[in-house]
């Protein structure tokens, strides 16, 4: 047995750069913690809706970045550049189609995810803050839809945006100001398109990414909820609770808040 087995050698070879990285950054451990954290044993397919929404968002980000390479946000060129992307550029129709239909998929998945969280009661203590962040994400996503709809600069998108902005203007007190801000003036003009483009591809995605990071942090910190029909004790399960010697009956205080009604659960 002088020579170590092959798979041991392969493993050592593979792990070497990872060990190097882990020693200097702790990133491998962090990813490991994220991927192998404890979740309730009776999670089901409905719990994947959040990840599906995130995937749709990533698709929107990637396709959007590529479309931005060819799209020209000026009233003279916008429509022609969209025609160029769709009809002339290789696979442009596919990327634009992914972005266009992916937008609808993103919103639909957002609502399904919201419905899952609501029906499973996953918005309850201690996850109220994550619900609020999620609502903000929904609002931002719909603003993405509103600003993105103008960009093709065809008759449908132009008049839909006219009506959309004027709907805003009917809001009491602030309405006319809101409409002027969206238009960049009293009338839809050259300002409006570039303004919507900037909001659509810089400001709103930045805010979305920041809030998604916060959303995921809270998901990892607070853990995943069991479905309402679960026979396990309710409550969040954190890594500390899992690794600590557990008591089934006694409530286990967590963190500083020491929530009395959250107790550790047996491993599934």
Partner 1 sequence: MADELEPSGESPEHEDPGAHLPSPTIWPFAFAGAVALILVGLIVSTIASVIGVVLAVVFGFLWIRQATREVRGEPEPVEAPEPEAVESEEGPVRIERARFLEGATLGLGALIGAVVTLPVLGFTVLPAFVEQGFPDVDLGPLDKYPEGEWRIATFVGRPEDGNVSRRTAFVRYNGLADQVPSFTIISNRCVHLGCPTQPQGPPGEAEEVKTSAAPVTLTPTQPSGFGCPCHGGAYDIEGNRVAGPPVRSLDRYEYSIKDGNLFIGAPYSVGEVTGAGADAVVVRYRWTDPGVHVDGPEEYLYPYSP
Return residues touching partner 1 (CB under 8 A). Answer: 75-76, 159, 162-163, 165-167, 169-170, 172-173, 175-177, 179-181, 183-191, 193
* Closer CB to partner 1, 53 or 147, in the complex: 147
Rounded least distance, CB 174 to partner 1, Å: 9
Are 133 and 214 within 8 A, CB to CB?
yes
Rounded least distance, CB 195 to partner 1, Å: 8
The pair of structure tokens assigned to 156 is 């449908």
| Contacts for 89 with CB less than 8 Å, ≥ 6 apart | 70
* Closer CB to partner 1, 189 or 228, in the complex: 189
CA distances from 222 to 3, 59, 90, 119 (A): 46, 27, 45, 18
DSSP summary character for residue 215:
H
* Closer CB to partner 1, 22 or 154, in the complex: 154
* Closer CB to partner 1, 180 or 232, in the complex: 180
Rounded least distance, CB 200 to partner 1, Å: 15
Rounded least distance, CB 97 to partner 1, Å: 27
Rounded least distance, CB 155 to partner 1, Å: 10
Query: In Å, how far from its chain's centre is CA 98?
Result: 17
* Closer CB to partner 1, 181 or 217, in the complex: 181
* Closer CB to partner 1, 176 or 228, in the complex: 176
- With CA atoms as reference, report the closest residue to 40 among 241, 182, 245: 241
Rounded least distance, CB 80 to partner 1, Å: 13
The pair of structure tokens assigned to 6 is 């092959």
Other C-beta atoms lying within 10 Å of the C-beta of residue 184: 16
Query: How far is the C-alpha of 49 from the C-alpha of 128, rounded, in Å?
Result: 19
* Closer CB to partner 1, 115 or 189, in the complex: 189
CA distances from 174 to 144, 168, 179 (A): 21, 9, 9
DSSP summary character for residue 184:
T
Are 103 and 145 within 8 A, CB to CB?
yes
Rounded least distance, CB 154 to partner 1, Å: 13
Query: How far is the C-alpha of 227 from the C-alpha of 117, rounded, in Å?
Result: 10
Query: In Å, how far from its chain's centre is CA 265?
Result: 29
């Amino acid at each position: 047995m002088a020579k170590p087995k092959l798979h041991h050698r392969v493993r050592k070879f593979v792990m070497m750069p990872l060990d190097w990285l882990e020693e200097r950054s702790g990133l491998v451990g962090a990813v490991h913690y994220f991927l192998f954290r404890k979740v309730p044993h009776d999670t089901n397919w409905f719990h994947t809706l959040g990840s599906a929404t995130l995937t749709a968002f990533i698709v929107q980000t990637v396709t959007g970045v590529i479309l931005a390479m060819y799209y020209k946000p000026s009233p003279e060129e916008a429509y022609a550049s969209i025609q160029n992307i769709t009809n002339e550029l290789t696979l442009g129709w596919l990327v634009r189609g992914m972005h266009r239909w992916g937008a609808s998929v993103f919103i639909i998945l957002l609502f399904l995810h919201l419905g899952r969280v609501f029906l499973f009661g996953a918005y309850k203590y201690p996850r109220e803050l994550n619900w609020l962040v999620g609502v903000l994400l929904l609002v931002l996503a719909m603003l993405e839809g509103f600003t993105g709809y103008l960009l093709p600069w065809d008759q449908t998108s132009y008049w839909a945006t006219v009506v959309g902005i004027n709907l805003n203007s009917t809001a009491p007190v602030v309405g006319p100001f809101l409409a002027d801000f969206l238009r960049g003036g009293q009338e839809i003009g050259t300002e409006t398109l570039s303004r919507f483009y900037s909001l659509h591809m810089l400001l709103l995605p930045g805010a979305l990414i920041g809030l998604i990071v916060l959303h995921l942090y809270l998901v990892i910190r607070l853990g995943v909820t069991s479905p309402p029909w679960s026979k396990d004790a309710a409550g969040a399960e954190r890594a500390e609770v899992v690794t600590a010697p557990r008591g089934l009956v006694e409530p286990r205080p967590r963190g500083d808040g020491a929530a009395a009604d959250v107790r550790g659960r047996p491993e599934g």
